[in-house]
Amino acid sequence: MSKKLPYRGSELTKFKKIKLKKDDEVIVISGNREDKGKKGKILSIDKKRDRVYVSGINKKKKFVRPTQENPQGGEIEIERSIHISNVMLFDSKKKKGVRIGFEIVKGKKERINRGKGNK
C-alpha cells in the first residue's frame, strides 16, 4: 500500500493561537483584487486549516440542480474561506487594520491593539 499524500490545506495548523474571534470586524489585507481592502464580519473559523469565513468576502457562484426544496435550481452565491494571514482586525476608531495582543488587566486577560500609539 502506498502512503496517502496530504492534499493542500489538510496539514496540521501552522498558527497555534488564533487571536481573532467570531463576529470580529476584519479587513482583507491581501488576496484577490476585488476583495483586497474590503471589510466584513467573521462568520466562522476553521482552526484545523487556518482559514476564516468572512461575510461578503471571496464570494463564488455555485450552480445547484433542481431539487424538491429548490425546484427551479440555478445559481447561488456563497462565501468561501480565506487564509487567516490575509485578514487583520479592523479598528473603527483608527479606521485601519491593527494587530492584536493580550494583556492582563486586574487579573483578567484582555485583547489590546498593537498599533502605533499603543505602548
Question: Residue ranges per domain, the chain?
Answer: 25-89
Nearest-angstrom CA–CA distance, 43 and 16: 20
DSSP helix/strand/coil, 54:
strand
CATH 2.30.30 at 25-89, yes or no: yes
Q: Which pTM does this prediction carry?
A: 0.77
Cell of 111: 485583547
Q: Compute the distance between CA of residue 99 and CA of residue 91 in angstroms, rounded to an integer.
A: 10
Top pLDDT among 10 and 50 is at 50
pLDDT at 81: 92
Tens digit of pLDDT for each residue in 26-40? 999 998 788 899 999
Asked whether the beta carbons of 64 and 76 are under 8 A apart, the reply is yes
How confident is residue 80, by pLDDT bands cut at 50, 70 and 90?
A: very high
CA distance 81 to 51: 6
Average pLDDT of every residue of the chain:
86
